[in-house]
């Protein structure tokens, strides 16, 4: 995008607080996508009709996990942790006819987002599709469900938003400057998720450094910091070697611990893995060794629990010599890792990783200078698609 796309967050919050529609975009890149958002407790028939006719994407309801539990909504079957977290679709018990009309969907949305809504006020399935935001919203996952829950909350309304992705005439996602043209055409303010992240980082603190000490490893002496994550009741760790200068790119590894990669195969070397038909990867031991050899760097260990399905999938890939599956936590846990890196002082990163497109990383004041795959090659920073 050539021009500054987003209005000040305060102006966007005022618009949402007074019942207006806004456009939410990922960032100011040419590949950014976007949606139309209205505070769910203020949504009207005209808003739903506008989303269906003009935005063209599926009309969804962003809610928090607390509200999902309050309404006792079961999850919709979903085989990927990377996708939006849908529950079963819903309908208001009273006041609707077919349920599909704009008026009926607006009513269902208002009922479901009301503070004292009860499970018996809704039936399933229906014509409104709730999507559950991650705890901590955009500070944990830079997604549309999180932004569309955070923004109404910050605007003083319920933490729920009715939203629909913006599509073009061919039914593809609208991108880049076309998002701004849509917003200008309809007189809507624009909020960038990257700006929302930055706004929340300045106003809120979601992680607390709970412990700091030194740790002597086979690869050298590291400072060890523990960060308490209250929403998950979890402890994340950071191992830091050397002085971290925000102006200088620093070796960085952000990962969750995986049993196969970091425990069972922890002693294997790149050459050994290749000879066995395995694809080499950055495990914890190899990352610490690389940082120890250079004398400066950071490893962040996220307290992300592996699912049994993920462990079985990795074991199957090992048996068939298939490439390891890409990390499924990367986007969802980006906010946690970014907050830890900010606290340590790391701003420019040389990531020990295969190239990955990280969305909205600029909102955390971070920059990926390059990627360092485990095969010894280097790659330029991937575009933040």
Domain boundaries defined on the chain: 7-200, 205-378
Confidence of residue 197 (pLDDT cuts 50, 70, 90): confident
pLDDT of res. 313: 73
Task: State the alpha helices, DSSP H only, in 22-101.
Answer: 45-50, 65-71
Superfamily for domain range 205-378: GTP cyclohydrolase II (3.40.50.10990)
CA gap 263, 333 in Å, rounded: 21
- Estimate to the nearest angstrom the gap between the alpha carbon of 208 and the chain centroid: 20
Least Cα distance to 158 among 209, 117, 106 occurs for 117
DSSP letter at 172 equals S
Note the pLDDT tens digit of each residue in 325-342. 554 444 445 678 888 998
pLDDT of res. 268: 54
Least Cα distance to 301 among 355, 347, 365, 253 occurs for 253
In the chain, the N- to C-terminal Cα span, in Å, equals 13
Instruction: Count other Cβ atoms within 10 Å, centred on residue 21.
Output: 25
Note the pLDDT tens digit of each residue in 24-58. 999 888 889 999 999 999 999 999 999 999 999 99
pLDDT of res. 24: 97
CA gap 213, 190 in Å, rounded: 44
**Whether domain 7-200 has CATH 3.90.870.10:** yes
| Higher per-residue pLDDT: 126 or 204 | 126
Grouping H, G, I as helix, E, B as strand and the rest as coil, residue 95 is coil
CB-based contacts of 79, cutoff 8 Å, min separation 6: none
Q: Decide if 132 contacts 85 (C-beta within 8 A).
A: yes
Say whether pLDDT at 174 is over 50.
yes
**Tokens representing residue 217 in the block:** 């490893």
pLDDT of res. 316: 77
Q: At what angle do helices 9-17 and 193-203 cross, to 10 degrees?
A: 100
């Amino acid at each position: 995008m050539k021009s500054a796309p987003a209005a000040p967050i305060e102006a966007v919050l005022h618009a949402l607080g007074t019942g207006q529609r806004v456009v939410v975009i990922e960032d100011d890149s040419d590949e950014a996508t976007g949606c139309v958002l209205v505070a769910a407790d203020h949504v009207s028939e005209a808003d739903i009709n506008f989303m269906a006719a003009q935005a063209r994407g599926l009309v969804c309801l962003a809610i928090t996990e607390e509200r999902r539990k309050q309404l006792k909504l079961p999850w919709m079957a979903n085989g990927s942790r990377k996708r939006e977290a849908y529950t079963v679709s819903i309908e208001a018990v009273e006041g609707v006819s077919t349920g599909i009309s704009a008026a009926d969907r607006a009513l269902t949305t208002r009922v479901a987002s009301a503070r004292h809504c009860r499970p018996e006020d809704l039936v399933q399935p229906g014509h409104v599709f709730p999507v559950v935001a991650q705890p901590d919203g955009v500070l944990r996952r830079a997604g549309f469900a999180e932004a569309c829950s955070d923004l109404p909350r910050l605007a003083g309304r319920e933490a729920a938003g009715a939203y629909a992705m913006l599509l073009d005439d061919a039914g593809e996602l609208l991108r880049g400057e076309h998002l701004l043209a849509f917003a200008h055409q309809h007189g809507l303010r624009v909020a960038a998720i990257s700006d929302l992240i930055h706004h929340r980082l300045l106003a809120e603190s979601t992680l607390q450094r709970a412990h700091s000490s030194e740790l002597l490893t086979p690869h050298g002496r590291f400072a060890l910091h523990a960060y308490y994550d209250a929403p998950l009741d979890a402890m994340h760790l950071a191992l830091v070697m050397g002085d971290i200068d925000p102006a200088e790119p620093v070796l960085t590894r952000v990962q969750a611990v995986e049993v196969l990669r970091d425990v069972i195969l922890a002693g294997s070397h790149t050459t050994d893995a290749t000879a066995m038909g395995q694809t080499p990867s950055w495990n914890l031991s190899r990352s610490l060794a690389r940082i120890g050899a250079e004398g400066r760097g950071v490893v962040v260990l996220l307290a992300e629990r592996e699912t049994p399905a993920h462990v079985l999938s990795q074991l199957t890939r090992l048996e068939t010599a298939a490439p390891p599956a890409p990390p499924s936590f990367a986007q969802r846990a980006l906010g946690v890792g970014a907050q830890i890196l900010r606290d340590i002082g790391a701003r420019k990163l040389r990531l020990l990783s295969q190239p990955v497109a990280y969305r909205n990383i600029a909102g955390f004041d971070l920059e990926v200078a390059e990627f360092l795959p485990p095969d010894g090659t280097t790659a330029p920073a991937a575009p933040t698609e």
